[in-house]
């Protein structure tokens, strides 16, 4: 087996697979109201191509975790079948999905039965009207139903991903944590990153990790005794609370901008059109789709993937004056 190692000693074991660049929301910090020019269908990997690349990653490159992302992965018609095929691999990777939660009430059980282990659900507000403003869609109740269905189906721990934006929803941090604690969800606050399609991100208006933690002071958070390892979130214990599994309740903060964790990154990314990205903020990609469609053997594809990861930079470089935001927005990269 070949390890996906880079020249700084990091080894990628976590694969993020984007299944589509399409989404059924239009979040203001992600894309314009009219949406984007979506990827042409012929450019998108087929279900069989997705499964083959994941198989190569697991069997030949040491991948142990697979996260399906988008766009919105639940709108990929073949999602349940892809999960079922990956569940048959030996060794079997742990699988999760990052979703906006719309449709999860219908899909939670089929996904669990196919072999999915857990879900992350994006939710930035508890206010339905504010949700409609943020996402340009009136689907707040659908997301809440999806969260509940995930717990009922056993796709736990159910994690909520929240992006706080100054003067938009930054007043909701305490309420969101109370909501998560009441329902046994694990909440993760994420600093807003320069990955919007409009290229309007402004560091000075971003809500920082320090500001998030200051807003949570009433909860008397305690440092987590469990090491974060390669996980992106710094976590704190919430005294007096447990999660749905009976474990001590935790809240996390992913400070991608102000508290970068690039030195411990263990992720490799595959876009919906078969490009390998060795960093979320990479400006270059490596084309595996062409190799697939030209009939390359697994060994050649695995070697191309290894070479792509070997060139990974030491960090994302957001603080570098020469930093360039990726041409692809988040919806076309996958979270």
Q: CB–CB of 111/139 below 8 Å?
A: no
Rounded distance between C-alpha atoms, residue 133 and residue 115, angstroms: 35
DSSP letter assigned to residue 315: S
8 A C-beta contact, residue 185 and residue 244 = yes
On whether the CB atoms of residues 101 and 122 are closer than 8 A, the answer is yes
Annotated ligand binding at 98? The verdict is yes
9 annotated as a binding-site residue: no
Token pair 């717990």: residue: 151
Residue located via tokens 């449709």: 103
Q: Is 250 annotated as a binding residue?
A: no
DSSP single-letter state for residue 299: H
Cα separation, 164 vs 191, whole angstroms? 7
The answer to whether 27 is annotated as binding is yes
Length of the chain measured in residues: 335
Q: Are 109 and 146 in contact (CB under 8 A)?
A: no
Q: What Å distances lie between residue 23 and 100, 217, 331, CA to CA? A: 9, 35, 8
3-state secondary structure 233-294: CEEEEEEEEECCCCCEEEEEEECCCCCCCHHHCCEEEECCCCEEECCCCCCCCEECHHHHHC
71 annotated among ligand-binding-site residues: yes
Tell me: is residue 30 an annotated ligand-binding position: yes
Asked if residue 16 belongs to a known ligand binding site, the reply is yes
**DSSP code for 314:** S
Measured distance between the N- and C-terminal CA atoms of the chain, rounded to whole angstroms: 27
**23 assigned ligand-binding residue:** yes
Residue 283 annotated as lining a ligand binding site: no
122 is in an annotated binding site: yes
Determine if residue 267 is labeled as part of a ligand binding site: yes
Please indicate if the annotation marks 268 as binding a ligand. yes
Residues paired with residue 206 on neighbouring β-strands, in sequence order:
165
Helix, strand, or coil here: 132?
Answer: helix
Binding residues: 16, 23, 27, 29-30, 67, 71, 98, 122, 159, 193, 262, 265, 267-269, 279
Binding site for S-adenosyl-L-methionine: what residues are annotated?
29, 71, 122, 193
Binding-site positions for GTP read 16, 67, 98, 159, 267-269
Binding residues for [4Fe-4S] cluster: 23, 27, 30, 262, 265, 279
């Amino acid at each position: 087996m070949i390890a996906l190692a880079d020249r700084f000693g990091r080894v990628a074991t976590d694969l993020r697979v984007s299944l589509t660049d399409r989404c059924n929301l239009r979040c203001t910090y992600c894309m314009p109201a009219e949406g984007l020019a979506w990827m042409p269908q012929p450019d998108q990997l087929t279900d069989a191509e997705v499964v083959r690349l994941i198989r190569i990653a697991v069997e030949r490159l040491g991948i142990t975790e697979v996260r399906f992302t988008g766009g919105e992965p639940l709108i990929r018609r073949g999602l349940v079948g892809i999960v079922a095929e990956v569940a048959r691999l030996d060794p079997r990777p742990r699988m999760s999905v990052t979703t906006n939660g719309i449709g999860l009430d219908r899909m939670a059980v089929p996904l669990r039965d196919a072999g999915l282990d857990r879900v992350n659900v994006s939710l930035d507000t508890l206010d339905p009207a504010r949700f409609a403003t943020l996402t340009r869609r009136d689907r707040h109740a659908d997301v809440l139903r999806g969260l509940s269905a995930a717990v009922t189906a056993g796709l736990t721990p159910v994690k909520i991903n929240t992006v706080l934006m100054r003067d938009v929803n930054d007043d909701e941090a305490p309420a969101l944590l109370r909501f998560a604690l009441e329902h046994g969800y694990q909440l993760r606050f994420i600093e807003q990153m320069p990955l919007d399609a409009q290229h309007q991100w402004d560091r000075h208006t971003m809500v920082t990790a320090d500001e998030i933690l200051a807003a949570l002071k009433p909860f008397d958070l305690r440092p987590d005794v469990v090491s974060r390892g390669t996980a992106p979130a710094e976590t704190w214990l919430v005294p007096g609370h447990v999660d749905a599994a009976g474990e001590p309740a935790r809240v996390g903060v992913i400070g991608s901008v102000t508290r970068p964790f690039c030195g411990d990154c263990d992720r490799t990314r595959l876009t919906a059109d078969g490009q390998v990205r060795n960093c979320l903020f990479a400006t270059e990609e490596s084309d595996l789709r062409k190799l697939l469609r030209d009939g390359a053997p697994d060994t050649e594809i695995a070697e191309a993937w290894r070479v792509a990861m070997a060139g990974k930079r030491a960090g994302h470089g957001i603080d570098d004056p020469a930093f360039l935001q990726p041409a692809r927005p988040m919806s076309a990269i996958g979270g």
